[in-house]
Amino acid sequence: MKVYDGKEIRNVGLVGHGHSGKTMLTAALLYTTGATNRLTTPDEGNTITDFDDDEMARKITISSALAFAEWKKIKVNLLDTPGYNIFINDTLGALVAADAALVLVDGVAGVEVQTEKVWAFANDYRLPRAIIVNKLDRERSSFDRALESVQSNFGRTAIPIQLPIGAERDFKGVIDLIEMKAYTYAPDGNGKGQELAIPGEMADAAQKAHEALVEMVAEGNDALMEEFFDKGTLAPEQILEGLRGAVREMRVFPVLCASALHNIGSDLILSFVLDNFPAPVDRGAIDAHSNGNEVARKVSDSEPASLFVFKTIADPFAGRVSYFRVWSGVVKNDANLYNPHKSATERLAHIGCLMGKTITPVTELHAGDIGAVAKLKDTLTGDTLCDKASPVEYERVKLAEPSIAYAIEAKSRQDEDRMGNAVHKILEEDQSLRFYRDPQTKEFLLAGCGQQHVEIIVSRLKKKYGVEVSLKAPKIPYRETVRGKADVQGRHKKQTGGHGQFGDCWIRVEPLPRGGNFEFVSEIFGGSIPKNYIPAVEKGIIDAAGKGYLAGYPMVDFRVTVYDGSYHDVDSSELAFKLAARKAFKNAMLEAKPSLLEPIMNVEIQAPVEYAGDLMGDLNGRRGRISGMETKGSTQFLRAQVPMAEMLNYQNDLTSMTQGRASFTMELDHYDYVPQPQAEKIIAAAKAAKTGEEEEEE
């Protein structure tokens, strides 16, 4: 395979809301360039970039994928990214490898919730971008309506450089507003436009749109503005030059037309990418760290070699496959590079370029290119590999914490033995997952970005690693505390002939502020309890508090002061004082007003404005308190504090309330008292469960 230098490369991320056509457009672009020999669709289940079993079954992109093509002797690396909220972290992680983005907008739906989110990602990465109004062949599609949606969300600098010829089923071509030419496309979907004159009925609309484009391009360029005022227009080559600068400086976001399904406009999109998006070497220096100091590394072959691993695929047969972007230098096959984060050296055997799941071998990759390598020992997503003589580390991508957790249970003993290793491999692949054991409930929890996310992981465990597990809602980690004070005695006395057991202590119990956990204070003076027995009193209290009083949940946020007691020279022991302390704790609970605490979550919901009223009403019904509201464009951000117990099925409810157009994040904020009606139900359920367990033991 040919080796390309940094000037001959374009790295482009395809982003947008789910079902806006990113995977189909990727397939169309590959077919148009000749990289593939037929135009495949997701409905056929065999597109280049949706190759995972779950992706083919669900017909959605779950994980970012790579493909490459050559157009006019330039290599175009295409990153096809997920568009649904529960997989959007993968998009954020992949865009670090892009130098520009094509933002797809559905010609029927316009800008949707995730479109705004990926636009914000592109802003964060400072990526030049263009907007593709796709699916203009669909019934009820409208370029004008979609453009209005784009401009209301992203501003007037989103300006058309093309107009569609025909609408819905009759969409057959586009008008190029820069050179004022029209192109129509054959029904066979070869993606090559045939040039012709602008249709007479569209001449006025095209001229008006051309003038608006010229004015927008000239606006940020003094020399072009002067020319525009002088002659009233600009030559096509001046428009092209001005547009290139405006796109790269993110002053203008061109809007193009397409039907990926019928391969209309693909050749013009590819030419636009080559003419207007920056090559990697145009990007400037990249911020990094070296031995604790901030440094900048130029995207250049002349710099020491360095690469950043932005994605890991765990394959049960091929092993670990690492996707990387070469930031500097030339990375050669069989190179030995150093991982500063792991203090390990890796050998890059058989590097290559990705075409979906296939790695095409190459001898070397130059600064700015994207590649893959299999079977790195220690390197994972977010790690940097570099020349050991010139160490450098690039910043990792910060992903949002998972919003929902499920208890995961192996179906058999054999599954249990293999589950840990299989989950560990999947965690290497998907860094937005968390897997941990709740110390209180003793359950294994798998946390992800939504129910469907976790279900797909369970499916992968079975298909890839032969591990079957079941999912269930996690137990709520309730806690207990005290609201009042108590001053009590705990006395343990047992005579069995020979040595007996004797321990006696007086304790005070009082509440602490939330988060105070547990404090133990000794005020023993004069030896009423020998010093060597005081730790036994503390341990007895801790043991009793760990088992709770009301419903078996750990007791927190209280202070115990032991201030008096008595002992026996022969019969006293650590065990006796530990048992006395347990009795003292139980006696204290009769007076100290024990109460249940529940976890309260900080919840942030992102949804179209029209759903705000319904969402607020629903949160109030879940005992939630609205803590803030903010509107950005057509999106409403709602912040609330809601008990965890009310949020276990929220993902499904939110999807049905908003037709899947909303997303939410959730994290623990604090614990608060459970209202009496709910507390009574929880206590009754705990007692019933305990009775059931005792009957089973009998």
Give pLDDT tens digits for 228-251.
777 777 888 888 999 999 999 999
- 440 pLDDT above the threshold of 70: no
Is the residue at 698 inside a domain?
A: no
- On whether both 202 and 264 belong to a single domain, the answer is yes
Burial string for 120-157 (b: 16+ CB within 10 Å, else e) reads: ebbeebebbbbbbbbbbbbeebbbeebbebbbebbeee
Residue 674 CA, distance from chain mean position: 32
Residue 318 in tokens: 């091929």
Number of helices (H) and strands (E), helices first, in the chain? 16, 36
- On whether both 183 and 240 belong to a single domain, the answer is yes
- On whether both 79 and 186 belong to a single domain, the answer is yes
Average pLDDT over residues 500-508: 93
For strands 253-257 and 158-160, give the pairing. parallel
- 90 pLDDT above the threshold of 70: yes
Q: What is the pLDDT of residues 262-278, one digit of tens each?
A: 999 999 999 999 999 99
The rounded percent of the chain whose pLDDT value lies above 90 is 58
Domain boundary among 537, 558, 592: 592
Least confident stretch, 98-102, 158-162, 293-297: 293-297
214 Cβ contact partners less than 8 Å away, ≥ 6 residues apart = 228, 233, 234, 239
Supply the pLDDT for residue 674: 94
pTM for this predicted structure: 0.76
- On whether both 153 and 225 belong to a single domain, the answer is yes
Supply the pLDDT for residue 266: 95
- On whether both 93 and 186 belong to a single domain, the answer is yes
- 68 pLDDT above the threshold of 60: yes
Angstrom distance (rounded) from CA 162 to CA 332: 42
| Cβ atoms 243, 178 nearer than 8 A | yes
Give me the number of domains the chain comprises. Answer: 5
SS3 652: helix
Give the CATH number, domain containing residue 454.
3.30.70.870
Angstrom distance (rounded) from CA 216 to CA 160: 10
DSSP per position, 463-501:
HHH---EEEEPPPP--EEEESS-EEEEEEEEE--SSS-E
Average pLDDT over residues 252-267: 95
- 65 pLDDT above the threshold of 80: yes
- On whether both 615 and 554 belong to a single domain, the answer is no
Is the residue at 474 inside a domain?
A: no
Is the residue at 255 inside a domain?
A: yes
Supply the pLDDT for residue 238: 87
Give the CATH number, domain containing residue 293.
2.40.30.10
| Three-point CA angle 77, 82, 84, nearest 5° | 160
Residue 640 has a CB neighbour count (10 Å cut-off) of 21
Q: What is the pLDDT of residues 607-656, one digit of tens each?
A: 888 899 999 999 999 999 999 998 876 678 899 999 988 988 887 888 88
Least confident stretch, 257-261, 527-531, 579-583, 584-588: 527-531
- 696 pLDDT above the threshold of 60: no
| Cβ atoms 48, 42 nearer than 8 A | no
Q: What is the pLDDT of residues 306-350, one digit of tens each?
A: 999 999 988 767 778 999 999 999 999 999 999 999 999 999 988
72 Cβ contact partners less than 8 Å away, ≥ 6 residues apart = 270, 271, 274
Average pLDDT over residues 151-178: 94
**What's the full length of the chain, in residues?**
698
- On whether both 382 and 419 belong to a single domain, the answer is no
| Cβ atoms 611, 657 nearer than 8 A | yes
Average pLDDT over residues 426-437: 82
Is the residue at 535 inside a domain?
A: yes
- 29 pLDDT above the threshold of 80: yes
Angstrom distance (rounded) from CA 338 to CA 458: 35
Give the CATH number, domain containing residue 662.
3.30.70.240
The parent domain of residue 421 ranges over 404-469
Supply the pLDDT for residue 472: 83
Domain boundary among 592, 617, 635: 592
Q: What is the pLDDT of residues 46-60, one digit of tens each?
A: 678 877 766 677 777
C-alpha distances in Å from residue 223, one per residue of 219, 238, 239, 671 = 10, 10, 12, 62
Give the CATH number, domain containing residue 107.
3.40.50.300
Angstrom distance (rounded) from CA 546 to CA 495: 29
Give the CATH number, domain containing residue 585.
3.30.230.10
- On whether both 267 and 306 belong to a single domain, the answer is no
- On whether both 111 and 153 belong to a single domain, the answer is yes
- Label residue 698 by pLDDT band (50, 70, 90): very low
Supply the pLDDT for residue 44: 61
- On whether both 246 and 302 belong to a single domain, the answer is no
- Label residue 673 by pLDDT band (50, 70, 90): very high
Classify 199 in phi/psi space as left (phi over 0), alpha (psi -120 to 50) or beta.
beta
Burial string for 72-89 (b: 16+ CB within 10 Å, else e) reads: eebbbbbbbbbbbbbbbb
- Label residue 430 by pLDDT band (50, 70, 90): confident
Angstrom distance (rounded) from CA 202 to CA 199: 5
Angstrom distance (rounded) from CA 31 to CA 487: 81
Is the residue at 263 inside a domain?
A: yes
- What mean pLDDT, rounded, does the chain reach? 89
Domain boundary among 322, 352, 386: 386
Residue 543 in tokens: 């043991």
Average pLDDT over residues 164-187: 94
Angstrom distance (rounded) from CA 666 to CA 605: 9
- On whether both 444 and 515 belong to a single domain, the answer is no
Is the residue at 683 inside a domain?
A: no
- Label residue 419 by pLDDT band (50, 70, 90): confident
For strands 663-673 and 594-608, give the pairing. antiparallel
Average pLDDT over residues 348-354: 92
- On whether both 453 and 501 belong to a single domain, the answer is no
